[in-house]
Structure 1
Amino acid sequence: MTEFKALTFDCYGTLIDWEAGIAAGLSALAARLPTPLTRDQILEAHARHESDQQRLTPDMPYDRLLQVVYERLAQEWGVACTRDEALAYGKSVGDWPAFPDSASTLQYLKKYFKLVIVSNVDNASFRASNEKLGVAFDAIVTAEDVGSYKPSRRNFEYLFDVLSSLGIGKEETLHIADSNYHDLQPAAEFGLRCCWIFRRFEQRGFGATVGTRAEPSVDFKFTSMAQLVKAHHDELAHG
Structure 2
Amino acid sequence: MNLTDFEALSFDCYGTLIDWEAGIASVLSRWAVTHDLTMTDEQLLTAYSNHEAQAEAEHPTDLYPQILARAMRGLGTQLGVPVSDDEAETLAVSVPDWPAFPDSAEALERLSRRYRLIILSNVDRASFSSSNKRLGVRFTSILTAQDIGSYKPSPRNFDALAREVERLGLADGRLLHVAQSLFHDHVPAKAAGLPTVWINRRHDTPGWGATPQPPANVTPDWTFTSMAAFAAAVDAEHH
**Shorter-chain TM-score category?**
over 0.9
Aligned mate of 1:141, from 140, 143, 152: 143
Contact 1:33 1:77 (8 Å CA) reproduced: no
Contact 2:158 2:189 (8 Å CA) reproduced: yes
Contact 1:11 1:119 (8 Å CA) reproduced: yes
CA positional deviation for 1:72:
1.9
Within-5 A mapping of 1:98-109: 98-109=100-111
Q: What is the rounded CA distance, in whole Å, between the counterparts of 2:42 and 2:234 in structure 1?
A: 33
Q: Hey, what does 1:230 align to over in structure 2?
A: 232
Contact 1:8 1:118 (8 Å CA) reproduced: yes
Percent pairwise identity: 46
Q: What is the rounded CA distance, in whole Å, between the counterparts of 1:64 and 1:38 in structure 2?
A: 25
**Aligned letter for 1:183?**
D
Q: Hey, what does 1:168 align to over in structure 2?
A: 170
Residue 195 of structure 1 aligns to a residue in which SS?
A: strand
Contact 2:187 2:216 (8 Å CA) reproduced: no
CA positional deviation for 1:220:
0.8
CA 1:194/1:93 → structure 2, altered by over 3 Å: closer, same or farther? Answer: same
Q: Hey, what does 2:124 align to over in structure 1?
A: 122
Residue 31 of structure 1 aligns to a residue in which SS?
A: helix
CA positional deviation for 1:107:
0.6
The TM-score with structure 1 as length reference comes to 0.95
Q: Hey, what does 2:115 align to over in structure 1?
A: 113
Within-5 A mapping of 1:3-82: 3-82=5-84
The TM-score with structure 2 as length reference comes to 0.95
Q: Hey, what does 2:194 align to over in structure 1?
A: 192
Residue 120 of structure 2 aligns to a residue in which SS?
A: strand
Q: Hey, what does 1:151 align to over in structure 2?
A: 153
Q: What is the rounded CA distance, in whole Å, between the counterparts of 1:54 and 1:224 in structure 2?
A: 27
Q: Deviations over 1:190-217 (max 9, x none)?
A: 1111000000000000000011266531
Q: What is the rounded CA distance, in whole Å, between the counterparts of 1:187 and 1:81 in structure 2?
A: 35
**Aligned letter for 2:129?**
R
CA positional deviation for 1:35:
4.7
Q: What is the rounded CA distance, in whole Å, between the counterparts of 1:153 and 1:159 in structure 2?
A: 10
Residue 63 of structure 1 aligns to a residue in which SS?
A: helix
CA positional deviation for 1:76:
2.3
Give unmatched runs, 5+ long, in structure 1: none
Residue 171 of structure 1 aligns to a residue in which SS?
A: coil
Contact 1:44 1:208 (8 Å CA) reproduced: yes
Q: What is the rounded CA distance, in whole Å, between the counterparts of 1:35 and 1:208 in structure 2?
A: 18
